Amino acid sequence: AKNAMKQEAQLLMRLSHPNICRLYHYEEDGRVCYLVMEMVEGKSLEELLLGREGGRLPLEEVLPVFNQVASALDHAHGQDPSVLHRDIKPGNIMLHESGFVKITDFGLARWATTSSARSCPRSSGSAGTGWAARMRWPTRRTSCFRGA
């Protein structure tokens, strides 16, 4: 477990993007590991959706969130080797009251190897590196991407 945490810390310290929660320091003290991370104020997209009638956001609120998440993932996937989050969900997307977005919890992240990269779906879109993130949104909240 300690080795996995150190590996995660090495991954996160490489990522510098305004929409990715920063890791500033990793420390080991005997059997205890410490991560010093950026303080992210606000609430998760999951909390926001639960507070909305029908668990939906209007399109004009969804698009800025989606664009910031896509920008952060494009940055992570553009690293050499690529960094894959592997757990993008509303609970790992933090929203400041200003509308600024931060992706958190890269706990399942890993460097993409040739074999893992091949198992990732390719995007046919023109944005970024051509990799598509695997997003598993709960079925009852899928409608948050529809217009009001």
Query: Within a 13 Å sphere around the CA of 27, how many CA atoms are in the beta-carbon half?
Result: 6
Q: How far apart are CA 25 and CA 38, in angstroms?
A: 10
- Active-site positions read 87
Q: How far apart are CA 55 and CA 41, in angstroms?
A: 22
Among the listed residues 53, 45, 57, 63, the one whose alpha carbon sits nearest the alpha carbon of residue 144: 57
Q: CA–CA distance from 35 to each of 52, 89, 118 (Å)? A: 33, 22, 31
Q: How far apart are CA 91 and CA 101, in angstroms?
A: 12
